[in-house]
Structure 1
Amino acid sequence: VVFMTIGRMPYSVLISVVVGVTNLAPTFGPIAGGAIGAFILVLDNPWNALGFLIFTVILQTLDGYVIKPKLYGGSLGIPGIWILISIIVCGRMWGVVGILIGIPLAAIIDFIYHDYILVQLQRAKKRRAGKAESSATAPAEEEKKA
């Protein structure tokens, strides 16, 4: 609303509501909202539609590649870069479904890694350290006996 009011664009409240509602759908919602808003504006003034599209693309790019990964990463305890990578990789592998399941899949992998694999590795390391300690003390005990 603020950008459209500053740019003196018509139907700012209507377009803002449409964009807000379509943004509830992940990934493709902003695209649909931007297209609908641009269509409404192009009927009035094509230059307003172009300005709106440019602003929407910049805003959605910032939101998708900077804000959301930090936000999701913070709430899930996963670095934002892994969120971004999971969305891109899963999207390339499975399309729209991959984009939708990328973040939950990254959270599951992170959980398995931190709560199972790392725990097993730490236990194995402790066992190796215990065996090394017992084998190091065995020759010392034999020397005491002799």
Structure 2
Amino acid sequence: MFSLLTSWYKERFSDPQAVTLVFILVAIALAIYFAGGLLAPLIVALVLAFLLEWPVAQMVKVGINRTTGASLVLVLFIGIMLLLTFGLVPSVWKQGVSLVSDLPSMLDKGLITIKGYVELYPQFMSTTQLDTMVSELKKLLDTQHIFDLGKQLIGYSASLLVLMVYAILVPLLVFFFLKDKDFLIKGSKRFIPTNRDLARKVWLEMNQQIFNYIRGKVIEIVIIGAVSYIFFAIMDLRYAALLGVLTGFSVLIPYVGATLVTLPIALVAFFQWGVSPEFGYLMLGYGIIQALDGNLLVPILFSDAVDLHPVFIIAAVLVFGGLWGVWGVFFAIPLASLVKAVINAWPQSAKVSEEKPNKEHTVS
């Protein structure tokens, strides 16, 4: 057994380029896993700088100084974020609080409607079974418990110190990453082994691909969220802004997100209209939006994305989401594509390299 492992190790890791690539990937993964909380502002700044590098590079091409270009892009980005924060977040927050406070009355209304159907079709469910299910549901959705949980979440996620750190440090870090990009890259190469050609090959393959994916995903979130909000508002659905935002962000989790966000939309529509033509029109329109997203928008935005099987995509969402939370879910597909690129670029063993020419010779 030991000799088998030794032989496998020599075949796969005899190339110094492969060892360097593994070293780089393991070092980055360990740093994010064990020090992700401490390095969160730095990681956020790196991601934002990566996204904002393209407009800065375009400005440099037309003759604008890199410092000036970085400043203009950063100011524009901060302006858009402030506009979204003070224009969208208060409305979404207000509707979220209203939804929580209206849950008891919505449940009572839904209970009356369901009881009517139970009385019409007692062969499927008895009134006693329905009362038992409703009592358990009310325990889970206890209003005071939800409010207490919300206060705890607000206390953890919106502390003044954390907000100050992100509001001050992240823009500064983004500015310096954009302004001094070449200097920082040159300085970081001192800590990387010289045998890094394979790592450079993988990075060049993934660089544009990751950027295209993130850009496409942001565009998809904006389009789906805006279209869903407009449709919900036209239908006069309650909590249209909140449900539109949830629908937009649901595209972050492939296949699973759309399924999860369908439940609150259907429940709100059912409690508002019951089983009626309006309920059917809403669910039909929502289904059309999801179908257009999956069959038209996604192929256009991600036409050059790496072809990954749905099983691998869902597995990547579960694994990387479990490791790094929201960021892991957001970057699940790029990380899965990175794994695939590493596997494709990995040096083949001598036996495999010899077998391929022999097979080709035999076939010819």
Using the size of structure 1 for normalisation, the TM-score is 0.50
- Are the aligned partners of 2:253 and 2:317 in contact in 1 as well (CA < 8 Å)? no
Read off the aligned partner of 1:66 and give its amino acid letter: L
Aligned amino acid, residue 253 of structure 2 = A
Aligned to 1:135: none
Query: Are the equivalent residues in 1 in contact too, given 2:246–2:261 (CA < 8 A)?
Result: yes
1:25-44 matches, cutoff 5 A: 25-44=253-272
Aligned to 2:207: none
Three-state SS of the structure 1 residue aligned to 2:260 is: helix
Question: What is the match of residue 246 of structure 2?
Answer: 18
Contact persistence 1:38–1:53 (CA under 8 A) = yes
Which entry has the higher C-alpha Rg, 1 or 2?
1
The root-mean-square deviation of aligned C-alpha atoms, in Å, is 3.9
User: Which runs of structure 2 are paired with 1:45-84 in the superposition (5 Å)?
Assistant: 45=273, 46-74=276-304, 76=305
Classify the secondary structure of the residue corresponding to 2:303.
Answer: helix
Q: 1:38, 1:50 within 8 Å by CA — same for their partners in 2?
A: no
The structure with higher relative contact order (CA 8 Å, sep 6+) is 2
Residue equivalent to 1:97: 315
Q: Distance in 1 between the 2:231 and 2:290 partners?
A: 14
Instruction: Confirm or deny: 8 A CA contact 1:23 1:33 kept in the other structure.
Output: no
Residues in 2 aligned to 1:2 and 1:112: alpha-carbon distance in whole angstroms: 44
Q: Distance in 2 between matches of 1:67 and 1:107?
A: 23
Structure 1 CA distance for aligned equivalents of residues 284 and 231 of structure 2: 12
Structure 2 gaps, min length 5: 1-228, 320-332, 348-364
In structure 2, the residue matched to 1:128 is: none
CA distance 1:109–1:44, change in 2 (3 Å): same
The structural deviation recorded for 1:35 is 1.8
- Residue 122 of structure 2 is matched in structure 1 by none
* Partner of residue 8 from structure 1, selected from 236, 248, 253: 236
2:144 matched residue in structure 1: none
Write the deviation string for residues 85-124 of structure 1: whole angstroms up to 9, x where unpaired. x44x868xxxx428989x67678778988xx9xxxxxxxx
Q: What is the CA–CA distance in structure 2 between the aligned matches of 1:98 and 1:17, rounded to whole Å?
A: 24
8 A contact 1:39–1:49 mirrored in 2: no
Give me the whole-angstrom Cα distance separating, in 1, the residues matched to 2:336 and 2:245: 31
SS at match of 1:73: coil
Q: Percent identity?
A: 21
Once the two structures are TM-superposed, the CA of residue 10 in structure 1 deviates from its matched residue by 2.5
Distance 1:105 1:16, change over 3 A: closer
> In 2, Cα distance between the equivalents of 1:70 and 1:36?
29
Change (3 A) 1:47 1:23: farther
2:68 paired residue number: none
Once residues 99 and 69 of structure 1 are traced to their aligned partners in structure 2, the CA distance between those partners, rounded to angstroms, is 20
1:22–1:33 contact (8 Å) kept in structure 2? yes
Once the two structures are superposed, residues 32-53 of structure 1 have per-residue CA deviations (whole angstroms, 9 ceiling, x without a partner) of 1122111111101044332222
Following superposition, the deviation at residue 17 of structure 1 comes to: 2.5
